[in-house]
Amino acid sequence: MSPGTGAPAAPNPNPAPPNPPPPTPLALNIPPPASPAPPAAAVPDQPAIALAAPPAPPAKPYQDILKLKQAGLSDEFILNKVRTDNVSYQLTTAEILELRAGGISETILQAMLRSGQPAAATAGAPIARKGEFAGLARVTRGFLGVFGTSTKSVGRLVVDGDNVSWFQPSDPSGNFSLYAKNIKEIFNTCVLRPGQNLCLEFGIVTYTGEEYRFRDPGWKNGENRLVAEATEYFRQAFPNLFFSQRAVSEL
């Protein structure tokens, strides 16, 4: 109804929609910001550590023998030192070859191989100091100073305890007897041959200066059985004697 007439107002055919309720806020689970990490402690510079060089391997006893040879000392001196010191050298194959290349004789090498071992280990079968080598020929110096043999100089070389004697039936004036302690050296005279020298002479040198030499009667044909047997026997019966080889181009 209008204000003047008192008539009721007509209803609004397009009423305004009601206001929607405000949206419900979303709850977000956001972690709080992490605290900044404390700065790492500064590591002081470490001093450089110098790596020590590995220690040099200790010298082996066999090298002393090489030094003696290089210094010009005689084989006799070196052999006596090896026997007196009685050091256990325990030589390897490479060391033996090095010694041979350095001029060390076979006699000294054998002494080094036996050195430092108990007597029972080197004794082997006992060798009685009682032996005889019949059929050797005494080597004598001829008119022109040349050594040689003849059928008249054939005799027996006899070992009886500490005595070494020679008996020559055809010429007793050539007989002799030595006391073993007066023997300075046992030697072989060997003719140079490719691969291995041919030892045709067995010799004895005394401390008083005498020298005695022996050969097989057939030495000119290369026979040396008696010389080899006598040499090997003396090596075993008198291991402390000095043994050597003398190389020659010819006898």
In tens, the pLDDT along 24-55 reads: 665 556 666 666 666 655 666 666 666 666 77
Q: Which residue from 148, 88, 73 is spatially nearest to 118, judged by alpha carbons?
A: 88
Distances (CA, A) of 201 to 26, 120, 147, 217, 248: 122, 32, 11, 11, 11
Please give the domain boundaries of the chain with CATH numbers for all domains.
Answer: 61-123 (no CATH), 130-248 (2.30.29.30)
Q: Residue 134 above 90 pLDDT?
A: yes
Give the separation between CA 102 and CA 81, rounded to whole angstroms: 17
Which residues, at least 6 apart from 211, have a Cβ–Cβ distance to it below 8 Å? 203, 204, 205
Residue with token string 């977000």: 28
Q: In which band, very low, low, confident or very high, does the pLDDT at 8 lie, cut at 50, 70 and 90?
A: low
Which percentage of the chain shows pLDDT scores above 70?
A: 69
Report percent pLDDT > 90 for the chain. Answer: 31
Q: Any idea which of 105-114, 132-141, 162-171, 222-231 has the lowest mean pLDDT?
A: 105-114
Contact 245, 106 (CB under 8 A): yes
> Residue 26 is encoded by which pair of tokens?
């979303």
Tens digit of each residue's pLDDT (9 = 90 or more) over 188-211: 999 988 877 899 999 999 999 999
Q: Which of 87, 85, 159, 124 is nearest to 236 (CA)?
A: 124
Tell me the C-alpha distance between 242 and 204, whole Å: 10
pLDDT in tens, 75-85: 778 877 887 78
